[in-house]
Amino acid sequence: MKYKITGDNLQLVTVELNAGETMYGEAGSMVYMSSNMDMEAKMKGGLMKAIGRKFAGETMFLTEFTPTGEEGMVAFGGNAPGTIKPIELASGREFIVQKDAFLCAEDTVELSVAFQRRLGSAFFGGEGFILERLSGEGTVFIHACGDFVEFDLQAGQTMKVDTGCVVGWDGTVGYEIERVKGIKTMFFGGEGLFLTSLRGPGKVIIQSMTLHNLASALAPFLPGAQGSSGTSGSSGVVGTLLKETVGR
């Protein structure tokens, strides 16, 4: 299997498969493929794993791509402006990603559901209860909004990140939520009430913009959007506090 990632903020990954090799992807992520590529929707892993994927924001059916006769080509793209990143998995390594981050993978990679172990992380970490676990051996491609920044944290090294901006991390990385210090900073600092604390060792991938923030920036320019004097349910001090805390 060979691949090439093209583009800047609207990226595609083009994969070349030899005869007998199989790639699977999120339903609807295929952009183009060669004429000899066999495409088949499957409920990989059975009904229970398919239901788990649905809760994680993916589709119950994943689409497999296998060339017939000779080498074939298939390209995949994300559903929003952002970045595509290959993750190389080896035996014993797990990588945890935010829901909806999975794009496509070799058939030897397993996609499953991971649940938050701490209630604080689930409610205030920006990722919810359900995450996606990638394991097995092979290459998997993830996609998220914005550009990616990567860090290799050493054992005991800690980094604090805006909630929702963490794309993924090695299974060895600890993930906790910390309250922002100072009442004034909490309500008017623009970062909400909580920050995500990541503790090494392991790799961490962070996105420069979340899909939620992108949607919020575009909302005033969409048809039917209200002017600056209008509101969409909250106004005044209450609306400001909600926006600065839970609205992110």
Q: Could you tell me which residue, 63 or 128, shows the higher pLDDT?
A: 63
Q: Is residue 93 part of a domain?
A: yes
CATH number at residue 189: 3.60.160.10
pLDDT confidence of residue 215 = 80
- Does residue 223 belong to any structural domain of this protein? no
pLDDT confidence of residue 56:
54
**Does 228 reside within a domain?**
no
Q: What is the mean pLDDT of residues 65-88?
A: 94
pLDDT in tens, 116-164: 555 444 444 444 457 889 999 999 999 999 999 999 999 999 999 887 8
Q: Kindly state whether residue 230 falls inside one of the protein's structural domains.
A: no
Give domain status of residue 225, yes or no: no
| Domain assignment of residue 229, yes or no | no
Closest CA to 61 of 43, 40, 47: 43
96-125: average pLDDT: 76
Q: Which residues contact 50 (CB under 8 A, 6 or more apart)?
A: 43, 44, 60, 61
Q: What is the pLDDT of residue 122?
A: 47
Count of domains observed in the chain: 1
The confidence score (pLDDT) of residue 245 equals 42
pLDDT band at 67 (very low <50, low <70, confident <90, very high): very high
Q: How confident is the model at residue 58 (pLDDT cuts 50, 70, 90)?
A: low
Predicted local distance difference test score (pLDDT) of residue 246: 42
Question: Which pLDDT does position 218 carry in this prediction?
Answer: 82
Q: What pTM value is reported for the model?
A: 0.78
Query: Using one digit for the tens of pLDDT, what is the confidence trace for 10-30?
Result: 899 999 999 999 999 988 899
Of 80 and 213, the structure prediction assigns the larger pLDDT to 80
Q: Does residue 158 sit within a domain?
A: yes
**pLDDT higher than 80, residue 50:** no
Whether residue 201 is predicted with pLDDT greater than 60 in this model: the reply is yes
pLDDT at 47: 59
Structure confidence at residue 43 as a pLDDT band (50, 70, 90): confident
Domain that holds residue 30: 2-217+238-244
Whether 129 maps to a domain, the answer reads yes
